[in-house]
């Protein structure tokens, strides 16, 4: 429950959105702890959600690569 608390502190509007929508955030949110210099990679595929940073900062890069067939 600490993750939800931190999320609501960083984005207070989410608490109201959650309450107005059947507690969907508390039921569906997935929390990840990302360490310094750790990479999250999504090559090809569908977006499974939206990333919100509750504490700290992140750097987002799109690296253009060549698709091999």
For 9-67, write each residue's pLDDT tens digit: 989 999 999 999 999 999 999 888 888 888 776 666 666 677 788 778 887 777 676 66
Whether 36 is in a domain gets the answer yes
Whether 37 is in a domain gets the answer yes
Banded model confidence at residue 8, pLDDT cuts 50, 70, 90: very high
pLDDT of residue 68: 60
Whether 63 is in a domain gets the answer no
Whether 50 is in a domain gets the answer yes
Banded model confidence at residue 69, pLDDT cuts 50, 70, 90: low
Whether 67 is in a domain gets the answer no
Residue range(s) defining the domain that contains residue 15: 1-56
Does the pTM exceed 0.75?
no
The total number of structural domains that make up the chain: 1
Whether 66 is in a domain gets the answer no
Whether 69 is in a domain gets the answer no
- CA neighbor of 62 nearest in space, from 48, 50, 44, 46: 44
- Contact partners, residue 34, CB within 8 Å, separation at least 6: 40, 58
pLDDT of residue 32: 83
Whether 61 is in a domain gets the answer no
């Amino acid at each position: 429950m600490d993750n939800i608390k931190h999320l609501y502190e960083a984005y207070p509007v989410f608490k109201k959105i959650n309450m107005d929508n059947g507690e969907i955030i508390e039921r569906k949110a997935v929390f990840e702890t990302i360490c310094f210099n750790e990479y999250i990679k999504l090559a090809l595929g569908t977006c499974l959600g939206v990333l919100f940073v509750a504490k700290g900062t992140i750097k987002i890069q799109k690296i253009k690569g060549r698709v091999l067939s």
